[in-house]
Chain A
Amino acid sequence: MATAIPATTHMTTGRPNSFRAGPDEDGHFGIYGGRFVAETLMPNILELEQAWRAAKEDPGFQAELDSWFKDYVGRPSPLYLAQRLTDHLGGAKVYFKRDELNHTGAHKINNCVGQILLATRMGKKRIIAETGAGQHGVATATVAARFGLECVIYMGERDIERQSPNVFRMRLLGAKVVPVTSGSKTLKDAMNEALRDWVTNVEDTFYIIGSVAGPHPYPALVRDFQSVIGHEAKAQLLEKEGRLPDLLVAAVGGGSNAMGLFHPFLDDPEVRIVAVEAAGDGIETGRHAAAMSAGEPGVLHGMRSYLMQDADGQIVEPHSISAGLDYPGIGPEHSWLKDMGRIEIATATDQDALDAFALCAKLEGILPALEPSHALAEVTRQAPRMAKDQIIIMNLCGRGDKDIGTVAQHMGVTL
């Protein structure tokens, strides 16, 4: 096992000199991360790691990525002062980082553009992905269509029922959507099934993992592609306010939108950082998806991280109103940052998220996705406790159009 503290630590405090140096060579963030995969996949993830390292050092790759971000995704996304929400809460200024305005309606596309550029560099002909809410599936189908590659999306049968518009969207984009009927028929099973596909079709297939999860190098690679969110937010706030924010808030399922916002700020000690987990019906009911709040370290999907599991090490089925947060694990870098005390963990229930959704619609004229609605619920708790000259940035990582069916159902409305 890797040591819990990175090699470069402060001599007296034991804190790392940088929170942004990970992972180590074997993909560990402290004790978390790693490469817990079947041997069949090892050559592939080693090949991917090489390709990623080469791309990172190639200025041409970054330029190509920037160009796709600008002209296809629509970056930079605005940093928007939510004035009426700020007035309503009566405390800190609340800014939204509006990644819901990206092409396909969420932050997921940032990572998909990055990974498909890698896939084409590696000469792969076939793209696979897992999806929960369908946002990552749609983003993957989108880039696969644009780059002319065959695309297969694995999606739990239950999620297919909850998110039928996204299923149709993926099919319109030319992807084959394969219903996953094993296990709990949700995101974790879709990931199992995508891994099974990859084990079977290693030669020609590129697996676009949608979160900062899975075996090394995915957590670091996805983080690198999503960090554009935090880099932009930092520059935008410096321009608007001439200073750094006091607080960052983002929802975490696997954790990619949160890591994208947080990572560029990790070494700014004056910036507090809160990750919001889905508490479902409430942590005490056991029906939740709060791996860091209520789980413990374990190994699943190629990584060691906080996991929802029972006394025998079997994975517990998560629950959240938001299909995108309905995952029993969390990206390993989040687990490490939690243990190091660099990020705080909060939770929001299904009802908290629905209330925040309604508030945002009413005050700001924005329908947020149910994922960032969890973050917004925490903002409504934090902002009133802060001074009026303090600043919060929340990642509004997806739009709520996909969720209106779920929201209607909870309001007892038939569409």
Chain B
Amino acid sequence: MTASRLDRRFQALRDEGRAGLVTFVCGGDPDPETFQAILGGLPEAGADVIEVGMPFSDPMADGPSIQAGNLRALAAGMTLERLLGHIARFRNGNSETPIVLMGYFNPIHKFGPERFLEAAIVAGVDGLIVVDLPPEEDAELCLPALARGLNFIRLATPTTDDKRLPKVLGNTSGFIYYVSITGITGAAAPVADMVGAAVERLRRHTDLPVAVGFGIREPEQAAGIARLADAAVVGSALVDEVARHVASGDTSGLARALHAKVEGLAQAVRRARAA
């Protein structure tokens, strides 16, 4: 099998001797046009991998920020089908930056797993993270996705012990997403020592790149993670930026402000190992 866009991106990062920045935004948040502008500018702002949330009415593993982002996107008319259209438009202008869709299973279940996989590949999606599909439920989506060459990225958590890790890593590809805290997105910040130990533990079990997320908000935190792992994931802090502009009633400067935030994070991540 040829290397996926994610494989190529992480190889390029290794060649550069630096960690990557993974940015998460809610698909369609706060409205379709602004979202498209946000998405389109992320690579230039320094995002190495882009995660796009598939909006869901009941995001059980997410904190208040991302819940609100999901609901804003849905209220503005986003659907899974439309979201794939936005990804396809992004792909027309960018063939290098990997896109990972992240969300919950029910919208995909309703869409039809097979039909969804076809549509996602046509749109230019590279990988999937489906929060509520553990390895025990791999048959329906994970295995067919892998068979079609899509990456299936799994979350590992502090509760995933050495006994369970092989099961979690079994059908994982692209990268492994280490959730640095037990909790929901946007909660407490991770402790560097524990993250370091966790990343080392993961590396004893896998050669996959390790991205670390949950609770990373500021450039210095991202730099701290970048010294330990292959990538730092920032989500809630970006979604909060959207919320702030929506609350002010003026979203005209939102995309630019969000990209500026990403630039700050990206610079910190790029400098981290040189410092």
Contact = CB atoms under 8 A, between A and B. Distances in A.
A315 B57 contact: yes
B257 interface: no
Given A39-B160, A42-B134, A200-B187, 18 more contacts: A34-B136, A36-B134, A37-B134, A39-B168, A40-B157, A43-B160, A43-B164, A44-B159, A183-B57, A192-B58, A195-B60, A196-B184, A202-B182, A299-B105, A312-B81, A312-B110, A313-B109, A314-B56
B137 A39 contact: no
Say what secondary structure dominates the interface of chain A: mixed
Interface string B34-64: 0000000000000000000000111111011
A309 B134 contact: no
Interface string A188-215: 1100100110011111000000000000
Interface string A289-324: 000000001111110100101011111000000000
Contacts of B156: 39
Given A40-B179, A200-B187, A312 B137 contact: no
B225 interface: no
12 contacts: A37-B132, A39-B159, A39-B160, A42-B134, A189-B58, A192-B59, A196-B63, A298-B109, A300-B58, A312-B81, A313-B56, A315-B57
B79 A43 contact: no
Contacts of B79: 311-312
A21 interface: no
Contact of A35 (B136, B158, B184): B136
Nearest to B81: A312
Interface of B: 56-61, 63-64, 67, 71, 74, 79-81, 104-111, 131-134, 136-137, 139-140, 154-161, 164, 168, 179, 182-184, 187
Nearest to A43: B159
Nearest to B113: A1
A200 B184 contact: yes
Contacts of B137: 34-36
B106 A307 contact: yes
Interface string A33-73: 01111111111100000000000000000000000000000
A314 B55 CA distance: 9
Given A200-B187, A313-B108, A39 B60 contact: no
Contacts of B139: 1
Interface residues of A, number: 39
The 5 closest A-B pairs by CB, nearest first: A313-B110, A313-B107, A200-B183, A314-B57, A312-B79
A298 B131 CA distance: 15
A26 interface: yes
Given A1-B140, A182-B67, A199-B183, A314 B134 contact: no
Contacts, number: 119
Nearest to A44: B159
A192 B136 CA distance: 21
B243 to A, nearest CB: 14
Contacts of B67: 182-183
B106 A196 contact: no
* Residue in B56, B74, B134 with the greatest tally of chain A CB atoms within 10 Å: B134
A35 B164 CA distance: 15
A182 B184 contact: no
A48 B131 CA distance: 21
B109 A315 contact: no
Nearest to B159: A43
Contacts of A300: 58, 106
Contacts of A302: 132
Contacts of B132: 36-38, 299, 302
* Residue in B131, B157, B158, B187 with the greatest tally of chain A CB atoms within 10 Å: B157
Contacts of A297: 109
A111 to B, nearest CB: 22
Contact of A39 (B105, B140, B154): B154
A313 B80 contact: yes
Nearest to A27: B136
A26 B61 contact: no
* Residue in A34, A200, A299 with the greatest tally of chain B CB atoms within 10 Å: A299
Interface string A90-126: 0000000000000000000000000000000000000
Contacts of B159: 39-44, 202
A108 B71 CA distance: 33
A180 to B, nearest CB: 11
B155 A39 contact: yes
* Residue in A1, A36, A189, A297 with the greatest tally of chain B CB atoms within 10 Å: A36
Contacts of B179: 39-40
Contacts of A301: 58, 60
A167 to B, nearest CB: 22
Nearest to A317: B57
Nearest to A304: B109
B147 to A, nearest CB: 15
Contacts of A314: 56-57, 74, 107
Contacts of A26: 136
